[in-house]
Amino acid sequence: MALMIATTALAQTNSYRYSLDLTRVKDDQLQVELQTPAISQSSIRFYMPKIIPGTYSVSDYGKFVTELKAYTKKGKELPVKRLDDNSWEISKANQMTRMSYWVEDIFDTQQEHGIYMMSATNIEEGVNFVIHTPGFFGYFENMKEIPFELSITKPEAFYGSTGLIPVSSTPTQDVYRTGDYDLLMDSPLMYNLPDTTFINVANARVLVSVHSPNKQVTSAFLAQQFDKLLQATAQYLGGKLPVEKYAFILYFAEPGKAQPAQGALEHNTSSFYYISEYPQMMLAPSLVDIAAHEFFHIVTPLTLHSEEIANFNFNEPILSRHLWLYEGVTEYASDHVQVRYNHISPAQFLDKLAEKINNNRSQYNDTLPFTELSQKAAAEHESQYGNVYEKGAVIAAMLDIRLLELSNGQLDLQKLLRRLSQKYGINKPFKDEALFGELEEMSYPEIGDFLRTYVAGPSPLPLQEYLQKVGIVYEQQPDRQVATFGKVNLGFNQEQMRLEVSGTSDMNAFGQAMGYQKGDLLISLQGQELTPATAQAIIQGYSANTKAGDKVEMLIARKNEQGEYQQMTLSAPAQTVTSPGTVSLRMAEKATYEQLRLRNQWLQANPNTARPEDVESIDALLKTLYGVISGPAGERNWERFHALFTPHARMSAMARNKSGQQLLVSMTPQEYQQKNAPFFMESGFWEEELGRQVVQFGELASVMSAYHFRTQEGGEPQQRGVNSIQLVKEQGRWWIANIIWNTEREDNPIPANLLPQPPKEASKKAKK
């Protein structure tokens, strides 16, 4: 017993013990209490995060911390000196046992800041608390790697939504523990009256938690929207997830009060969403896309990552060079899983890919090496960060195609990452500079060449060449001349509710002639007021309709020496620049069998590639359908059989039950195989078409096809019936969408117009 007590006391002195009381709000602030770990040195620094993973931009959470005080065991206040926005120096720290400070929320602050709303905080007494942990909890220098405990006192009936699993929970208090500071920072919480729904996905419990002030969105509805995609994602990732619990935490802001910097932020076992509140049917499609992206982050970088991510420095970060992996692969996978499991069509997937290609070409520097962009994403290449979701995803798509080509369809990008995950994981990061070599060693030398050339090098991706491998036609419209806006970075000033020049590092000659400066607020362009609702259309119209030499006038507001905004007009003759022609992607109508096979391996979960001659016409498709299941006892060519059907095809039969009633029995082609393959292995079966009628309307066709079958070649037919077959022409070929068959009976004879007619001459002789 004495040993147990001593061990507990030791653990308490070597851990942080934070507490937060949500029932004691003061002027939109909460007080944070900390029982500090044991500190041996006489002076120590305390930090709040400057930058967090996922945003890679300066946040300065310490700006919202005030009245930071440190105390001895007897309650004596110790000297504390604020050094900058995010750090404090505490003297006589070896005597400290307790600290406290106040935190202001960010959602409705009047302070200027650069924090995205999906990583901000909310303190709305009695209604909602968003506890993004970087906004509430700090750390002592060189002391991030010890345990943290967080105790939250909550209003009765409030529920804490988080990816963390509490070590204890009562109606008024939750207690959480993490092994270190990084895990605490990666664990947002939201407290409010609950609207929650759980989904079982593979080995994980997935929470969907919603705060919707006007009840326009419910967790039950979103869970239903997310469910199919999450189940498909589990299959896409190999059937098992790397987490036991995951939380989708969604805060919907009233439109009149919502801040414009909206979106979602990934975490290890959760993702947080700040979205304007609108009817849920309107929000559902975009939310599914966003949720798909954020959920994939459970793989990269949150489970599979480099040392720079594992040992993230929240105040002086060294960024990884592999944002193409962390964000690009994730963005690609969130679209790819949807086409592989038939949530979107191949044409829709190609449209998304084309949009990313166009955004990369028109908005970003296509020759900037991606490794350099990544390492300097928070500094000189901040304006290029958005390209991780555009070119980063396209890099992943081309890498996937190349892997499938080299491996004859046996190794794709996800399988390669699973190989990497077997060697590295959440507690074993890889070395940043060694990743390309690791991936090359686990795959092919050509993959190393690809990464060094197109990710670490300035070469544009060979899009046309790679897409041709999978039978995709790459079409590009001619380049055109458009008026430039100046190539300045634009942001949104939340305090002034205006567009703002957020950076001028890439400013071109026209921008210099106009005289833009960082911090300028944009009021109007050519007399048209620029608001969040109108700015995009006005700027696009200006670019398309302004000619070189036209006078351009921009009304701006700029701070003077006293820090007050003064309006002024900037003016210069318009200049034009070359805008790349729009790229579109479509499936080749006459792709070769090799192209079709590789395309299906890329876009289908269970790829089956039809021979072109099997599906080039209605007649060819029906001959193949009858022929592929016919023959002597033995294995059928099921791959050829399945390649005839659409992904959602059904096969149905009218059959009698024990009472003699006719009932419809429906199945998938895969279930048809399971039911009939054993019979075909033991018995011969020949099914032949007797006659047909076809009604075709464009790409749709309905076929009534009479048949008979026999179990001995050349023997007497044992049964006759009619197949009702619905066909569709898509991607340059015919598909079976549905088959229903019924057998002939005395009271149900095959219509004469579906049976072979006797020759006219023989018919006349019969009459005589």
pLDDT of 761 reads 58
3-state secondary structure of 372: helix
Question: Confidence class of residue 285 from pLDDT cuts 50, 70 and 90?
Answer: very high
pLDDT of 425 reads 81
pLDDT of 12 reads 38
Q: Which residues contact 590 (CB under 8 A, 6 or more apart)?
A: 612, 732
For residues 186-194, give the mean pLDDT.
97
pLDDT of 55 reads 78
What values do phi and psi take at 372, rounded to 5?
-70, -45
For residues 754-762, give the mean pLDDT.
74
For residues 485-504, give the mean pLDDT.
85
Q: What percent of the chain has pLDDT over 90?
A: 79
**pLDDT surpasses 60 at 763:** no
pLDDT of 11 reads 40
**pLDDT surpasses 60 at 768:** no
* Residue 524, both tokens: 């109007």
pLDDT of 427 reads 81
Q: Which amino acid is at 224?
A: Q
Q: Provide the phi-psi class of 260: left if phi over 0, else alpha when psi is between -120 and 50, else beta.
A: alpha
The Cα–Cα gap between 401 and 553 comes to 48
Question: Confidence class of residue 114 from pLDDT cuts 50, 70 and 90?
Answer: confident
* Residue 232, both tokens: 């498909």
* Residue 733, both tokens: 């070929």
Question: Confidence class of residue 3 from pLDDT cuts 50, 70 and 90?
Answer: very low
For residues 377-403, give the mean pLDDT.
93
pLDDT of 5 reads 33
For residues 567-591, give the mean pLDDT.
94
For residues 266-293, give the mean pLDDT.
93
**pLDDT surpasses 70 at 764:** no
Tell me which of 4-8, 216-220, 479-483 is least confident.
4-8
Helix (H) or strand (E) holding 379: none
Inter-residue contact 426 to 301 (CB < 8 Å): no
The string of pLDDT tens digits covering residues 545-559 is 999 999 999 999 999
**pLDDT surpasses 70 at 40:** yes
Question: Confidence class of residue 127 from pLDDT cuts 50, 70 and 90?
Answer: very high
Mean of pLDDT over the chain: 92
pLDDT of 313 reads 83
Cα–Cα nearest to 176, from 34, 18, 311: 18
Domains of the chain: 1-194 (2.60.40.3650), 307-335+343-460 (1.10.390.10), 482-578 (2.30.42.10), 610-754 (3.10.450.50)
**pLDDT surpasses 90 at 300:** no
The string of pLDDT tens digits covering residues 170-189 is 999 999 999 999 999 999 99
Show the beta-strand stretches assigned E in 306-463. Answer: none
pLDDT of 302 reads 66
Question: Confidence class of residue 6 from pLDDT cuts 50, 70 and 90?
Answer: very low
pLDDT of 9 reads 37
The string of pLDDT tens digits covering residues 459-477 is 999 999 999 999 999 999 9
Q: Provide the phi-psi class of 384: left if phi over 0, else alpha when psi is between -120 and 50, else beta.
A: alpha
pLDDT of 259 reads 80
**pLDDT surpasses 90 at 247:** yes
For residues 149-167, give the mean pLDDT.
97
The string of pLDDT tens digits covering residues 623-678 is 999 999 999 999 999 999 999 999 899 999 998 888 888 899 999 999 999 999 99
Burial of 764 (0-12, 13-18, 19+ CB in 10 A): exposed
3-state secondary structure of 766: helix
Find tokens 């906004």 and name the residue.
135
pLDDT of 13 reads 58
pLDDT of 526 reads 95
pLDDT of 645 reads 96
**pLDDT surpasses 70 at 294:** yes
Cα–Cα nearest to 368, from 403, 395, 399, 400: 395
For residues 47-74, give the mean pLDDT.
93
Q: Provide the phi-psi class of 423: left if phi over 0, else alpha when psi is between -120 and 50, else beta.
A: alpha
pLDDT of 766 reads 46
For residues 98-117, give the mean pLDDT.
92
**pLDDT surpasses 60 at 283:** yes
CA triplet 322, 323, 325: central angle to 5 degrees?
Answer: 70
**pLDDT surpasses 70 at 718:** yes
**pLDDT surpasses 70 at 762:** no
* Residue 235, both tokens: 């299959």
The Cα–Cα gap between 348 and 340 comes to 12
The Cα–Cα gap between 51 and 669 comes to 53
For residues 145-160, give the mean pLDDT.
97
For residues 237-246, give the mean pLDDT.
91
**pLDDT surpasses 90 at 492:** no
